[in-house]
Chain A
Amino acid sequence: MRKLLFESLIRPPLTERPPRVSDAAVDELARALNGVAHRRLGRSLSIRAVDAGSCNGCELEMHALNNAFYDIERFGIRFVASPRHADVLLVTGPVTKNMRDALKRTYDATPNPKWVVALGDCALNGGCFAGSYAVVGGVSEALPVDLHIPGCPPPPIEILKGLLALLEGVNSRAAIARA
């Protein structure tokens, strides 16, 4: 173990520069965040991931956000264990009918102000699974969605861009509210 720890002292960090936030995502967000009180958020964002019937591909890329390359916590973004600690629900999957209640209950357990981010193509409108007797067809069929991050699955860098957009939107609004 000593060898590994020592090596990591002399190796350059793997962490990459934060991505530029895409303008389209910011726009979508600004529209979504109409006049809610964001002041309480500050420079932090707690996320509760909810798998509402995904194939698990989206979750794999969410996991990758915690690895040394993306190191999401440096942006003040972290995944939390309970919806009660969360600002954002990051929801994946076409929302199966078997998960709809659990998703709603998770949403209800999340304190205000809260945002819902739909992650992946399935979460937009059911993707490949649209039309099945077993799926609701997109997160917005079950909850109000503030931001959608496309991809199947979206690579970590795209998820990060979306979340940064959310954060920046939240903060610029908060600044306006303070002024």
Chain B
Amino acid sequence: MPALTDLILAAEGVDNHLPWPRAVVTSKEWSFAVEQLAEGHWSLLGLWGEPGTVHMALLDEAVWDIGVVSLLCPDGRYPSVGLLHPPALRLERAVADLFGLLPQGAPDTRRWLDHGHWGVSFPLSARVQTAAAAAPPYQFLPVEGESLHQIPVGPVHAGIIEPGHFRFTASGETVVRLEEGLGYTHKGMEGLMAGSDIDHAAKLAGRTSGDSTVAYALAFCRAVEAALGIEVPARAVWLRALMAELERLANHLGDIGAICNDAAFALMHAHCGVLRERVLRASDAAFGHRLMRDRVVPGGVAIDLNDEGTTAIRSLIAEIRQRFPALVELYDNTASLQDRTVATGRLRVELARQYRAGGYVGRASGRDFDARRSLAYPPYDALNFNVPLLQEGDVNARVWIRIHEVEQSLSLVEQILRQLPGGPIRVDFARTGGPHEGMALVEGFRGDILAWLRIGKSGLIERCHLRDPSWFQWPLLEAAIEGNIVADFPLCNKSFNCSYSGHDL
């Protein structure tokens, strides 16, 4: 079995693509890479387009090699990846909608992000077209059988959640199929990025998905810094990790409560809500914003941590350490709650592996990947932590992974505070002289976020692609819900907590 490096070395390498290589491949080599994906030797990190080119980021887990292969498609076509490797299907549909690049042989060519309302077709391609006045209605996959009925839900939901459409087909109470319709929050992020300056693009990146603003800003900035060869001051590197862990804590605490709430166990929700609020307030005290938006910036961080902030975080950690164990005990000892979460919404290990599910979704189904450890970007290479792993893949397992990750994050925050180096928090850097290309993979609370970008000669962003972990988790939710009852959907959905905005971009 050839390694990913061999493929890239054999192909035509692209200069200034850091820290991992990129190569322009022939369509034969492209198809070879697709085979490797389909056979499970490599995994798909992302698939995105550019006018006339399609890119695919690959991971060779045997040796932790990462690389990007690019295929020029002057006639607007390329051999489909999704044909043999289904995790690529939705990404291909998105590339087709935005760039008009068509995957040859793809089994699903329905539009995905384009609902026919933009007024243009292929908005990011070289030949933007005025869209046909009326797009044909979206066809959901046919479902046949006796006494089946369909339940359409959304895009506007009953709770305070993001918009998306769910089409359930049920037999009595049992869900036999769920099909998602997404794209409602598509804001044209990549179109806005193209041509904007680095600082503005960083702001946009931080608004890709509200709950992961630190993680997205970090992924974007690391890609910029890789591209331009910027050395970020040590203190900034550590402060970034501190913010990332606070973000993880806030989200996990919120999620644990919200999942229990969907099982009508409001007490957990109330207590977890209090702890989440404490995290947000400590973050505000330390970094001047509850979600820490716009605090991770190209070249470092925007604000330094002072003594007051340190004290706020220390007392936060003390409070969570004191209160959280009782909540875990409560979760563990409440039979009526366990009755709802154990064996519900089970995601099979093989599927999690095939789709390379990130975050708690993957780790609750035996997929041992965490970018903080597997790629060990600083300062995580100097920190001690465990990556919890379970095999059950049910709602309960996804709750437990979060619980363990809360514990790990508490310890990480303490280690960071103890070892936080002094010095400057941001460097100035030269923005010209390109083109430069950079890439980063960062562990957000939901899983690994990929950022890929090219900075032009003028120092403006030419092309930036951000890939949310949800791309690979949404399809798995469809699989996990099968055979469960409709009433358990909120539990399953919340335990996945996929991002809409991050996915729709």
Contact = CB atoms under 8 A, between A and B. Distances in A.
Interface of A: 1, 3-5, 14, 49-64, 66-69, 79, 81-83, 93-94, 96-102, 106, 128-129, 131-135, 152-153, 155
B160 A59 contact: yes
B274 to A, nearest CB: 5
B290 A61 contact: yes
A4 B271 contact: yes
A5 B120 CA distance: 57
Contacts of A101: 117
Please indicate which of the listed interface residues A52, A55, A129 has the most CB atoms of chain B within 10 Å of its own CB: A55
B37 to A, nearest CB: 30
A10 to B, nearest CB: 15
A14 B267 CA distance: 15
Contacts of A155: 284, 290
Interface in B178-219: 183-189, 191-192, 203-204, 207-211, 213
A98 B185 contact: yes
A133 B123 contact: yes
A66 B191 CA distance: 36
B291 interface: yes
Given A62-B160, A128-B204, A96 B187 contact: yes
Given A60-B210, A61-B290, A97-B119, A102 B156 contact: yes
Contacts of A52: 163
B77 interface: no
A151 to B, nearest CB: 10
B449 interface: no
Would you list the 10 A-B pairs with minimal beta carbon distance, nearest first? A57-B210, A134-B188, A132-B188, A56-B210, A81-B158, A67-B273, A97-B117, A55-B210, A49-B160, A53-B185
A43 B115 CA distance: 41
B323 to A, nearest CB: 9
B119 A56 contact: no
Nearest to B160: A49
A interface majority secondary structure: mixed
Interface of B: 115, 117-120, 123, 155-156, 158-163, 183-189, 191-192, 203-204, 207-211, 213, 254, 267, 270-271, 273-274, 276-277, 280, 284, 290-291, 293, 326-327, 330, 333-334, 499-501
Contact of B187 (A68, A83, A129, A152): A129
Given A69-B277, A132-B191, A53 B163 contact: yes
B187 A1 contact: no
A134 B191 contact: yes
Contact of B293 (A68, A81, A134, A152): A152
21 contacts: A14-B274, A51-B162, A51-B185, A54-B210, A56-B162, A59-B160, A63-B160, A68-B274, A69-B277, A79-B160, A96-B185, A98-B117, A98-B186, A99-B155, A102-B155, A102-B163, A102-B184, A106-B156, A133-B118, A133-B120, A134-B186
Given A53-B187, A68-B274, A131-B192, 17 more contacts: A1-B330, A4-B267, A5-B267, A14-B274, A54-B162, A58-B210, A59-B160, A60-B211, A61-B290, A97-B119, A98-B117, A98-B183, A100-B117, A129-B187, A132-B191, A133-B123, A135-B188
B394 to A, nearest CB: 23
Contacts of A66: 273
A59 B274 contact: no
A96 B160 contact: no
B207 A57 contact: yes
A3 B163 CA distance: 39
A90 to B, nearest CB: 9
Contacts of A50: 156
Most B CB atoms within 10 A — which of A56, A68, A102, A155?
Answer: A56
A160 to B, nearest CB: 14
A49 B271 CA distance: 24
Given A56-B211, A99-B163, A4 B330 contact: yes
Interface centre among A3, A59, A66, A96 (most CB of B within 10 A): A96
B160 A132 contact: no
- Residue among A14, A57, A58, A102 with most chain B CB within 10 A: A57
Nearest to A90: B160
A8 to B, nearest CB: 9
A71 B160 CA distance: 16
A67 B501 contact: no
Name, among A51, A63, A128, A134, the residue most crowded by chain B CB atoms within 10 Å (CB to CB). Answer: A134
Contacts of A54: 162, 185, 210, 501
